[in-house]
Amino acid sequence: MYYVILSNGVRMPQLGYGVYQISKDECEHCVLNALNVGYRHIDTAQSYFNEEEVGNAIAKSGIPREEIFLTSKVWIEHYGYEETKKSVYESLRKLKTDYIDLMLLHQPFSDYYGAWRALEELYKDGKLKAIGISNFYPDRMVDLCSFAKIKPMVNQVEAHPHNQQTEAQKWMKKYDVHMEAWAPFGEGRGGLFTNETIAAIGKKYNKTVAQVILRWELQRGIVVIPKSVHIERMQENFDVFDFELSDDDMSVIASLDKKQSSFFSHTDPNMVEWFVKMVEERKNNKDHKKEKKNW
């Protein structure tokens, strides 16, 4: 395993396992499989509704807690100082742990300054070992870095060969914020898994397209968290430490950059409205209201 050292000295495994879009029913089993394969870094979020199952898997695995790097994310609905604090305690309960290695603010909307102050306090109390942000484009990241007491240690953003985020990565380096890639395969959009250029590079090393993509991201210094519900793919995605892409290969993959999201832009006002609507709908959900009463 490779590790990166965050600005506060915390050591983070550079390859992790993401659990977005893994159902409650499948999640415990998948995380147990991932831990058996060798992953020691799990990425979940309040909004994935599977923190409880991640916590069950970690507890059942018998692996000492300190050997696992656990990330979660605060959802927009829980932003603001008080709500964020409560929501982090709820995450700790669900994950069955007394600390989280990295807690991120999931989106750059609503009262993220209030939410950040809560994370700063929880960090000082030792409940969170590192704190960071996600989907903060350079403008919002520079803003937060400039006015917060504690600078984020990580920014998790969409990054893969079709959206490489080279400009954003420069800004992160300037502010000592470590870049982490979500959707390191772009979920396969734009035919990424069958890309002929990447496949040809893979042939030279006897590696698959997925392995070349992950290796390319690792060599760029980025933390990656590929998701798969299939154990063979978890193994494939983990088997990326025994080869090295040449500078030429790195440049060829760099030339595939389309410099735009394969999903959507967080600066598109239509998307902001979509997020607002989602937050409203969840707030009004009966089960959700019931659950929040117990916080």
Ligand X SMILES: NC(=O)c1ccc[n+]([C@@H]2O[C@H](COP(=O)([O-])OP(=O)(O)OC[C@H]3O[C@@H](n4cnc5c(N)ncnc54)[C@H](OP(=O)(O)O)[C@@H]3O)[C@@H](O)[C@H]2O)c1
Helix (H/G/I), strand (E/B), else coil: 267: coil
- Shortest Cβ 294–ligand X spacing (Å): 26
Beta strands in 3-128 (DSSP E): 3-5, 11-13, 17-18, 41-43, 69-74, 102-105
- Shortest Cβ 293–ligand X spacing (Å): 27
Q: Is 105 in the site for ligand X (CB under 6 A)?
A: no
Q: Is 226 in the site for ligand X (CB under 6 A)?
A: yes
48 is known as an active-site residue:
yes
Q: Is 225 in the site for ligand X (CB under 6 A)?
A: yes
From 39, 48, 79, 112, the catalytic residue: 48
Q: Is 26 in the site for ligand X (CB under 6 A)?
A: no
Q: Is 238 in the site for ligand X (CB under 6 A)?
A: no
Q: Is 230 in the site for ligand X (CB under 6 A)?
A: yes
Please give the backbone phi and psi of residue 80, each rounded to the nearest 5 degrees, phi first: 95, 150
DSSP 232: H
Q: Where does residue 114 fall: left (phi above 0), alpha (psi -120 to 50 degrees), or beta otherwise?
A: alpha
- 11-13 and 3-5 beta bridge pairing: antiparallel
Q: Is 18 in the site for ligand X (CB under 6 A)?
A: yes
If the CB atoms of residues 125 and 232 are measured against ligand X, the closer one turns out to be 232
Q: Could you give the string, one character per residue 32-51, with x where binding to ligand X holds by CB under 6 A and - elsewhere?
A: -----------x--------
Site for ligand X in 175-194 (CB under 6 A): 182-188, 193
* Residues 216, 12, 114, 86, CA torsion sign: positive
DSSP per-residue letters across 167-218: HHHHHHHHTT-EEEEESTTGGGGGGGGG-HHHHHHHHHHT--HHHHHHHHHH
Q: Is 63 in the site for ligand X (CB under 6 A)?
A: no
Site for ligand X in 134-163 (CB under 6 A): 134-135, 156
- Structure tokens of 182? 């979500």
Q: Is 78 in the site for ligand X (CB under 6 A)?
A: no
Count the Cβ atoms, other than its own, within 10 Å of residue 126: 9
Helix (H/G/I), strand (E/B), else coil: 254: helix
**Residue sitting closest to ligand X (CB):** 18
> Would you please indicate which residues are annotated as catalytic (active-site) residues?
48
Which residues of the chain form contacts with ligand X (CB under 6 A)? 18-20, 43, 106, 134-135, 156, 182-188, 193, 210, 225-230, 233, 236-237
